[in-house]
Amino acid sequence: MVSFDFTGKIVLITGATGALGRVVARQFHQAGATLALCAREEVLLNQLFADLALDPQHLLVGEIDLRQPEDCDRLARTVEDRFGRLDALVNTVGGFTAGPPVHETPIEDWQRMLDMNLRTAFLVSRAVAPLLIRSGGGAMVHVSGRAGLAGFGGGAGYCAAKAGVIRLTESLSAELKDYGINVNCVLPGTIDTPSNRAARPDADFSRWVSPEALGEVMLFLCSPVARAIHGAAIPVYGLG
């Protein structure tokens, strides 16, 4: 892994129980960060990070649904009450469900993709940005996707949501860069996760991007080395 030093930095990672979030959390931990991890399933969060749950240096916050504004506000308050500041937000929450063509798509399915991918990014950004400002600067990284650049059949809601994350990132960057806050997003191709392997068992997994490789890019974007990068949407496709 590329070497980064986040000693003394407070990093909030959302979706910490997900296939990407759990890897990214461990990478930031190895880099010395003090972690605030959140997820919807408190029991699973504490199981996956039992060592951190017992370490008073870190904070685990369960029962957080980023689709709910009150949960996002509670998360930001909890982090500030515990640490007094925040240096980086790494938002890994999102998801994909294939669907029928647009003319056969239930409104509920369309809305689910927007809520899961775009609403969550908006609400957690809205809640955390004031804390980053009060902290004197920092970084914010969201996960968009290759689908945010070009649509495909059966994925209209997902593609629209991921495109929205890119525009949200650009707007946040324009609003926050003068406060010393870098806002960027990554555009993964297919991530090599157990669920993706199960869905596409005949694919060449070696061409997919690993969670570890994607996490290294997110570490970079939160580091001082990326201080001049604002509002970028960075492709991380692996060999795909």
Give the domain range for residue 86.
10-236
Cα–Cα distance between 56 and 197 in angstroms, integer? 36
Q: Rounded to the nearest 5°, which phi and psi values hold at 21?
A: -60, -40
pLDDT in tens, 47-105: 999 999 999 999 999 999 999 999 999 999 999 999 999 999 999 999 999 899 999 99
Task: Answer yes or no: 179 catalytic.
Answer: no
Q: Quick check: is 4 in a domain?
A: no
Domain CATH for 144: 3.40.50.720
Q: What angle do CA 222, 91, 185 make, to 5 degrees?
A: 60
Reading the block at residue 117, the tokens are 């991918």
Q: Is residue 60 part of a domain?
A: yes
Q: What is the pLDDT of residues 3-45, one digit of tens each?
A: 899 999 999 999 999 999 999 999 999 999 999 999 999 999 9
Number of domains in the chain: 1
Residue 61 lies in a domain: yes
> In angstroms, rounded to a whole number, what is the distance separating the alpha carbons of residues 127 and 92?
16
Active-site option among 6, 28, 158, 208:
158
Model pTM score: 0.96
In this structure, is residue 71 part of a structural domain?
Answer: yes
Instruction: Confirm whether 182 is domain-assigned.
Output: yes
| Residues 30-57 as b or e (16 or more Cβ within 10 Å = b) | ebebbbbbbbbeeeebbebbeebbeeee
Answer yes or no: is 36 within a domain: yes
